[in-house]
Amino acid sequence: MRGAMRSVIPGARRLAAAVALLLSPVAACECGETLSAVRGAVSGQLCDAETGAGVPDLPVAMTLGDGSRRDVVTDARGSFVATGLPPGDAVISATVADDDVRELAVEVVPQQTTVITDPACRELPGHAGAGGIEGTICNRHTGALVTDALIVLQLANGQLASTTTDADGHFSLANVPAGQQLLTVQAAGFQRSFLVDVAANAITELDLGSDCFPTNANAGTLSGSFCDAAGGPLVGAAVSATDAAGDERTDVTDTDGAFFLNALAPGPASVRVVRAPDVSETLAATVLAGEDVVVAASPGALSCEGGGDDGETGRIEGTLCAPDGETSLAQATVYIVRGDGTRAQTTTDANGHFVLQNAPAGAQVLHVEKGSFSATIDVVVPVNGTLSIPAQDCEVDLGGVRIAVVTGEWDDVGTVLLDVGVPAGDITTFEGFSSGTSWVTTLLENPATLASYDIVFINCGADTIEAIESPSALANLRQFVTDGGSVYTSDLTYDLIEAAFPSFIDFLGDDTVLQDAVQGEIADALPAVVSDAALAGALGTTNVSIAYPYGFAVMQSASSGVRVYIRGDAPLWTGGSLSNVPHTAGFTVGAGNVIYTSFHQEPGVNATLEQVLRLLMFEL
């Protein structure tokens, strides 16, 4: 038992919200706008003047435009972020050392994140066991430098390190932990991921910008993908081609083992593939003017093996989306099973686009998998050619997933599911409040019924008290997820997540008091940061504005195994604010997933948040 609990009954939420508004400083605003609607955010890094390295665990004081003060602490990389700040000129100060008091001026802009640059931060890494990555990115399909691209590293501790490319397509990341790191480049119409070996106290170059100019009609391109000795993608190999005119073009294979070389003179070309210490191959190719030629791999060396009955292969490219024709299937797995049981496989980018190299030629079944959803598409792969799936045919039939939706008083997840194209026949609705048999009895306390579903959505405002006080309901829910089921809950349903999965998310307040975490103040547009690289790429932004029309349940922190999708400050109606806490988080238990979000979806309140929910649905 969780001890004495107090409940929030249906309808009391609005009364509590009204009381919170009266107690909040927002009520004192005479301009008619809520304070949250005009707030901004600031992020940055503070560094040691001698080493140039970020200073961890450093107290940072912010004197804000309205005369108030905000205190934050830097993380392990010396970085910090503060949201929900009043607009205007502000001063950021920190005592880096006894004789080094740092002050930086910054302007807080409404609903934007201002990034400060500490002159003491230098590109050379300063942390022991850390290095740096810098480079230049070229989109060789267009022959243009990739500017304003988001560069993201997903670190082992769950945090993101990110920056953007400048007007010259150049980027730099410092204080990156040594070892192999996954770096993703995301921009409009462009996404590639690379494994980068970061050496301690050194800068690793990822130079993809050499000879960055478009291919004219008198030149051609070479492309392809290679595999290593184990049959997986050949990642991080240098691929260079010397064309008939003696000019050389270079690229690096990405996480799909793929490369692309452009602006090559027609005629015979020599292609060199090198990755120390295991790969050094020279291949022959013929460049054709105005065409892309797929370079054939060396049999037994760079070949991914498999193919049609004759071992012949081709390529498939296209874009995949949900049945609504709008929601991209980002990070979906796309594959064809070869005759020997192995796979030709790839992953869609943030826009749902994919290129599947070395697909077995002939009539094949293309498999698409994303979370609990899967589909198959019958295709015919041309020998040494490319099958293109037109953008207008991006919709994938995602029927067959069994979904239970528990209704609430504020959320309307069922409408979002229908809007994204989930067939109504795949959705079963359980009334969150019922005068008869409760949803807890019919669903959670009935393991056979619960196991008949793939995903359970529990709307904010559903009555969860009975479930929290039922050991069998909690045990069945844990087993459901462990066996591969997924659960999505929001806001007031947090008590159920806290009771069933107590070790993942730390909610504000007394864990033995029902609804004690519901201390977030009302906010029309609370600034927040999309801290998950995949979600940020699919949204096309790292900044979102969250609507909290009734306040919200506050998460204080999450364990290291939790995937935090969105972070931001949490202003409290009781006074004060928590800095940079999770607002949407997910975790894995056994074979299944759980996602909890402090905000919920009410149709028409916030189009961006509705898109977040559509994308998160495919994480389940």
Residue 204 lies in a domain: no
pLDDT band of 385, cuts 50, 70, 90: confident
> Per-residue pLDDT averaged across 257-283, rounded?
89
The CATH number of the domain holding residue 81 is 2.60.40.10
In contact, 484 and 450? CB cutoff 8 Å: no
Task: Give the pLDDT confidence score for residue 28 in this predicted structure.
Answer: 29
Residue 307 lies in a domain: no
The CATH number of the domain holding residue 354 is 2.60.40.1120
Task: Give the pLDDT confidence score for residue 540 in this predicted structure.
Answer: 75
Geometric angle at alpha carbon 31, from 30 and 35, rounded to 5°: 90
| DSSP helix/strand/coil, 14 | helix
Q: Same structural domain for residues 250 and 278?
A: yes
Residue 21 lies in a domain: no
Q: Same structural domain for residues 412 and 522?
A: yes
CA atoms of 575 and 20, how far apart (whole Å): 10
Task: Give the pLDDT confidence score for residue 265 in this predicted structure.
Answer: 92
Domain count across the chain: 5
> Per-residue pLDDT averaged across 35-44, rounded?
62
pLDDT band of 122, cuts 50, 70, 90: low
Residue 363 lies in a domain: yes
Q: Look at residues 393, 413, 448 and tell me which one is the last residue of a structural domain.
A: 393
Give the pairing of strands 386-389 and 403-406.
unpaired
Q: Same structural domain for residues 430 and 479?
A: yes
Task: Give the pLDDT confidence score for residue 268 in this predicted structure.
Answer: 92
Query: Among 366, 379, 426, 424, which residue's Cα sits nearest to residue 402?
Result: 426
Q: Same structural domain for residues 545 and 479?
A: yes
Chain-centroid distance, C-alpha 562: 13
Q: Same structural domain for residues 389 and 407?
A: no
CA atoms of 398 and 427, how far apart (whole Å): 13
Res 490 pLDDT > 90: no
Q: How many CB atoms lie within 10 A of CB 577?
A: 16
Residue 487 lies in a domain: yes
pLDDT band of 582, cuts 50, 70, 90: very high
Res 594 pLDDT > 90: yes
Q: Same structural domain for residues 559 and 428?
A: yes
Task: Give the pLDDT confidence score for residue 496 in this predicted structure.
Answer: 92
What are 149's two structure tokens? 């691209």
Q: Same structural domain for residues 386 and 411?
A: no
Buried b / exposed e across 27-60, counting CB within 10 Å, b at 16+? eeeeeeebbbbbbbbbbbbbbbbeebbbbeebeb
Contacts 24+ apart (CB under 8 A), 199-202: 199/131, 200/125, 200/128, 200/129, 200/130, 200/131, 201/124, 201/125, 201/130, 201/131, 202/125, 202/131, 202/132
Task: Give the pLDDT confidence score for residue 300 in this predicted structure.
Answer: 66
Residue 553 lies in a domain: yes
pLDDT tens digit string along 154-167?
A: 665 555 677 888 88
**323 or 194, which is more confident:** 194
Q: Same structural domain for residues 177 and 98?
A: no
Q: Same structural domain for residues 447 and 376?
A: no
Q: Same structural domain for residues 106 and 73?
A: yes
Q: Domain range for residue 231?
A: 220-294
| Mean of all residue pLDDT scores within the chain | 79
CA atoms of 345 and 332, how far apart (whole Å): 11
The CATH number of the domain holding residue 415 is 3.40.50.880
Task: Give the pLDDT confidence score for residue 76 in this predicted structure.
Answer: 66
Highest mean pLDDT among 108-122, 442-456, 525-539, 597-611: 442-456
**288 or 423, which is more confident:** 288
Task: Give the pLDDT confidence score for residue 394 in this predicted structure.
Answer: 79
Task: Give the pLDDT confidence score for residue 21 in this predicted structure.
Answer: 29
Query: Among 192, 147, 194, 193, which residue's Cα sits nearest to residue 171?
Result: 147
Q: Look at residues 393, 427, 446 and tell me which one is the last residue of a structural domain.
A: 393
Res 57 pLDDT > 70: yes
Q: Same structural domain for residues 379 and 430?
A: no
Task: Report the interhelical angle of 607-617 vs 413-420 (nearest 10°).
Answer: 70
How far, in Å, are 268, 409, 418, 525, 570 from residue 575 at the CA level? 72, 27, 39, 18, 11
Q: Same structural domain for residues 612 and 463?
A: yes
pLDDT band of 16, cuts 50, 70, 90: very low
Task: Give the pLDDT confidence score for residue 36 in this predicted structure.
Answer: 38
CA atoms of 373 and 393, how far apart (whole Å): 18
CA atoms of 177 and 131, how far apart (whole Å): 6
Res 13 pLDDT > 90: no
Residue 525 lies in a domain: yes
Task: Give the pLDDT confidence score for residue 82 in this predicted structure.
Answer: 75
| DSSP helix/strand/coil, 123 | coil
CA atoms of 353 and 397, how far apart (whole Å): 17
> Per-residue pLDDT averaged across 265-287, rounded?
89
Query: Among 532, 553, 552, 556, which residue's Cα sits nearest to residue 544?
Result: 532
pLDDT tens digit string along 60-76?
A: 888 888 888 888 877 76
Residue 278 lies in a domain: yes
Q: Look at residues 188, 208, 230 and tell me which one is the last residue of a structural domain.
A: 188
